[in-house]
Amino acid sequence: MGLNSFEALNAFAKQLERNIDGKEFHTKVVVTPSSINEKGVVIKVSLLKSFIQAQPPAALASRYLRVRVSVAGSMESMTGLKQALGVIEAIDRYLSSKDLRLETDDGSGNPKGIPNSRIIQNISAEDSFIDNPDSTSVQDVQDDRIVTITIPQGVK
């Protein structure tokens, strides 16, 4: 049974939420487009592209999703900075795991790795912490990384 792009995107967001949530912080994972009215830091998962590579011919068996994972929000205190850094470090630890696969959870609480899937991250070289022009006491965080998810191509 193969996943389509929409199902894979949502499975990835749920996988992040299961594996990133820490004892020191709770961060919401949202798939865009959706309205976000959260104070503090959130993790945004945004689909950038869904495609099948034409070459080599064996690549036709896989679908690729390019996804932006952003830690985004406003920090109004040192606690906010600590939370933002904790979330960024947790994402880095998780997405740097060896042989990371996309997982699905059938509701039983036992996620299963999808055979022939893969998750690889590329971290943006851009700065993540930006002074807020409207306030001297607030700093914004926008930490982006691009994640490529490979799933088996097929029909249900």
> Where is mean pLDDT largest: 39-48, 105-114, 120-129?
39-48
Give the three-class secondary structure for 148. Answer: strand
- pLDDT at position 125 is 78
* Confidence bin at 155 (pLDDT 50/70/90): very low
Domains of the chain: 5-152 (3.30.2000.30)
Q: What six digits make up the tokens of 71?
A: 């830690």
Mind listing the pLDDT tens digit for each residue in 29-65?
999 988 776 677 889 999 999 998 877 766 678 899 9
- pLDDT at position 6 is 94
Give the three-class secondary structure for 100. Answer: coil
Q: How many CA atoms lie within 13 A of 73 on its CB side?
A: 25
What percentage of the chain's residues is helix, strand, coil (to nearest 5)?
Answer: 25, 35, 40
- List, in sequence order, every residue forming a beta bridge with 121; answer none if it has no partner: 147
Question: Which region among 67-81, 102-116, 129-143 has the lowest average model confidence (pLDDT)?
Answer: 129-143
Cα distance between residue 60 and residue 12, in whole Å:
22
pTM of the model: 0.85
User: Helical H runs in the chain?
Assistant: 5-20, 78-95
pLDDT at 24 over 70: no
